[in-house]
Structure 1
Amino acid sequence: MTTSSDPRDRCRELREEFWRGVGEPGESRGSLSDADEPSLWPDGVSSYRRVNTAHAGVVTTDGLSNPGATGEPALGLELYVESIELTETDPVVGRWLVAALEECAGAVAGAAATVTDALAEHELLSLEVSGEDAPSDWVSDGRLGVILGIRLPGRSTGYEVDGVRVDALSVTPLRPDELAVITDEGPQGRQRVADALVSSGWYSYADAERPSVL
């Protein structure tokens, strides 16, 4: 239950409550890789946190939805990536997933109005990032594709802050042939790839060993 009259505190408390429903959140911290763009965030400062679950690890943005000048969330979403690779203590393991998350955060924060409109029209979004530290077989022409918003059964997709919806969107890396389908077919291709990930049982989970689902 939130008790603060400060909109920023309420955002933080409700975000904490959401992630406690998923697992055990760690402390908030700054960038975990070299791909961060904090100047694009609502406060000009980026923040991330790890969440340990029973079967995997999560790294999530922690403040993309912080209040703007009106006191409402400036961007009604937070992004996260989930993988068994993120349960490892070796900082190199899963680094490519964190880098992808941070690039996505910068891209989304830098195009807030466009992203809001796109989400209103489509449940899923897709992006291309640099593929920093990604395994070579996941990268094509120096780019890594990702899809945002695949749902995991049984998990809430977000929460409300003072009547404003904040979506928790998964970030799922794509194999080059999966990205090619989206590039060629647009929203229909994006949905086809998402459906294939769901039907194969991968859903939004990221894993360097995942085969193509096409």
Structure 2
Amino acid sequence: MTTPSPPGAAPTRVLVCDDQALIRTGLVTIIDAQPDMEVVGECGDGRKGVDLARELDPDVVVMDIRMPVLDGLEATRLLAGAGVAHPVKVLVVTTFNLDEYVYEALRAGASGFLLKDAPPDRLLHGIRTVAMGAALLDPEVTRQLVGRYATRIRPTEGAPEDVPLTPRELEVLRLIADGLSNSEIAAALVISQETVKTFVSRILTKLNLRDRVQAVVYAFRHGLAS
């Protein structure tokens, strides 16, 4: 788990977007109770979320997917998608049994996702992780959620032989797409975690990807994921 910011550091500014008032209030209460976080705004629809994000410049937007006026998927694309001059870090929260748009949310530019029934400490960990510029891609959630919709994702951007990676880098990329953490990849390949980090960094650089989330999307788009 990530740890709170050191004393004296500016709090992480969070915008909460969820159309269910009870859930939104709960999120705001949990986040605002943290000494290293501050809720700077809240709203119940995606259009308002986009407007508030542009007005308030939060460090992280906690975004629901299914919302009126403008859904969280399109709101995420407007805030963090390709071509956005000043992208905002978006952490998607979703209901596993209902939401079929998580993969598209990741493609839209979300830095990660959580399930709405995750414990509060997981939410706080997610916000801190995303605020630091890292991706939140929980291994177990990745296996279940991305795997569940893998059959709906059709490769459209080239063949595996066109991917500019070494065989070992391809192997690491496939394991990332399977939802393995760095430690799990290290164990599977019998290498150190530092070596895994080096491979991950090379993969992101070669493919011009922002983070592990985009690496998973890339792997599925290119037919590299199992």
| TM-score, with structure 1 as normaliser | 0.33
Identify, as 1 or 2, the structure richer in helix.
Answer: 2
* Larger-gyration structure (1/2): 2
The one of the two structures with greater contact order (alpha-carbon pairs below 8 A, sep at least 6) is 1
Identify, as 1 or 2, the structure richer in strand.
Answer: 1
